[in-house]
Amino acid sequence: MATPDEPGAIARGASAPNGSGRGNGTALIEAEHLELYFPVKKGILVDRTVAHVHAVDDVSLVLTEGETLGVVGESGCGKSTLARCLVRLHEPTGGTLRFRGRDITKLNRRGLQPIRREVQMVFQDPVSSLNPRKRVGQIIGVPMRLHGVDGSDVESRVRDLLHRVGLNPEHINRFPHEFSGGQRQRIGVARALAVNPKLLVLDEPVSALDVSVQAQVINLLDDLQDEFGLSYMFIAHDLSIVRHVSDRIVVMYLGKLMEVSPARELYEKPIHPYTQALLAAIPIPDPHENQARARTVLGGEPPNPIDPPPGCRFHTRCPHATEICATTEPPLAEYAGGHLAACHHPQSVGAEEIASAVRSSLSPTSAGDAMPDAEAARQAGDPAPGDPATGRGARTGATPPSPSAGPGSGAP
């Protein structure tokens, strides 16, 4: 098994987008043990750092070319900070970050310049992220000029982009306030696309929009991805909308990865209890189904990221937590099909699957070696892979993936 310290080990170990995904397997961004702590300062004369906000805490992941990686977690889980770290709007305080294989962890502004063109960000609030005093033509055109598009070509390219994002090219001279929320988000997308990026980091791009408009923007993003060969990192606060865009989904809690899974599988077979809770928390727009499913409402609130709990970060709220969860941080166990989960008591998987799981090279360095106990699961009786969304037990047709299909890291 490759040690996590060997460069590239993580990329080899994890860039296994599942068959249905769009990714072609070439790593675009690789994060290894990425860490961003914000200092909390205090002092009478000289500020001393008295504590840290553990915003991103030893996160390793890979984003491959052409894929969409969904990042999901509740407020304060570090998803936005992680995104800003990956595009180097923040400098990580630890770990390594590579873009197309090149170490960009410590690059300065100038060194980052070419990468800035390839990686663009779209923000949540379409109202405040567009300069109200600039016309649409300027908002989209200026980044083009900055990145060396010839002046005379700019206008025709702006018009073309407006058309591609579903806006009227005639509106090139309008101001942002003359557009609706959904249209403004289209402008935000067009601005990001202006410099022909390879990766768009979308920070809750549709959260502020009405449902019917959300769908319009999501469909647009889907079209643009195919048209421009883009990779997306799509950040969301719940599991509903990411499902439609993601090839793989990362679930974060309090700065750590809880689960990484091919998108479809995450919904059919959530392994981490936190993922289950996130799924159960979304009410189903169907009164009968909604009443029928046994919803476990997760109690409590996320702990303070300044002083995160030891062991598994989720154990204070977890319905399955035992002693070990409070003391030992679980490693990311890799199950069949490139499905990773950091949990001592994995759900929706049988004893066989647990037994064949291996410690993933993406595991945090602070995590122990304690892999989930297959024997205990066997004694407890194999939990049938249930339907987490309805909570109605086994669903026909949900075939458990064969346990021998664990690709990625070598034999343990």
Which one of 51, 127, 149, 298 is in contact with another protein (CB under 8 A)?
298
Which one of 103, 178, 227, 286 is in contact with another protein (CB under 8 A)?
286
Among the listed ranges 21-29, 37-45, 322-330, 341-349, the one in contact with another protein (CB under 8 A) is: 37-45
Question: How far apart are alpha carbons 280 and 282 in whole angstroms?
Answer: 6
Which one of 93, 96, 105, 216 is in contact with another protein (CB under 8 A)?
216
**Which is closer to another protein, CB of 148 or CB of 300?**
300
Q: How many residues bind another protein (CB under 8 A)?
A: 50
Question: How far apart are alpha carbons 239 and 72 in whole angstroms?
Answer: 7
**Which is closer to another protein, CB of 280 or CB of 377?**
280
The conformational region for residue 13 under phi > 0 = left, psi -120 to 50 = alpha, else beta, is alpha
Which one of 20, 290, 322, 327 is in contact with another protein (CB under 8 A)?
290
Question: Which contiguous run of DSSP H or E holds residue 187?
Answer: helix 181-193
Among the listed ranges 39-47, 106-114, 136-144, 226-234, the one in contact with another protein (CB under 8 A) is: 39-47
Question: How far apart are alpha carbons 27 and 65 in whole angstroms?
Answer: 6
Check: CB of residue 315 under 8 Å from CB of residue 321.
Answer: yes
Per-position x/- string for 118-147, each x denoting binding to another protein as judged by CB under 8 A, each - no binding: ------------------------------
Phi and psi at residue 152, to the nearest 5°: -70, -25
The owner of tokens 């090279």 is 361
Interaction of residue 75 with another protein, rule CB under 8 A? yes
Which one of 49, 131, 219, 366 is in contact with another protein (CB under 8 A)?
219
Which one of 9, 195, 257, 277 is in contact with another protein (CB under 8 A)?
277
According to CB under 8 A, which residues from 355 to 394 bind another protein?
Answer: 387, 389-390
Handedness of CA 32, 359, 57, 14 (dihedral sign): positive
Handedness of CA 270, 381, 367, 412 (dihedral sign): negative
Cα angle, residue 305 at apex, residues 299 and 306 outer, rounded to 5°: 135
The owner of tokens 């296994």 is 16
Interaction of residue 265 with another protein, rule CB under 8 A? no
**Listed residue (334, 319, 343) closest to 406, CA to CA:** 334
Shortest reach from residue 390's CB to another protein, in Å: 5
> Footprint of another protein on this chain (CB under 8 A)?
43-45, 74-75, 180-183, 210-216, 218-219, 222, 237-241, 243-244, 264, 267, 277-287, 289-290, 293, 295, 297-299, 301, 387, 389-390
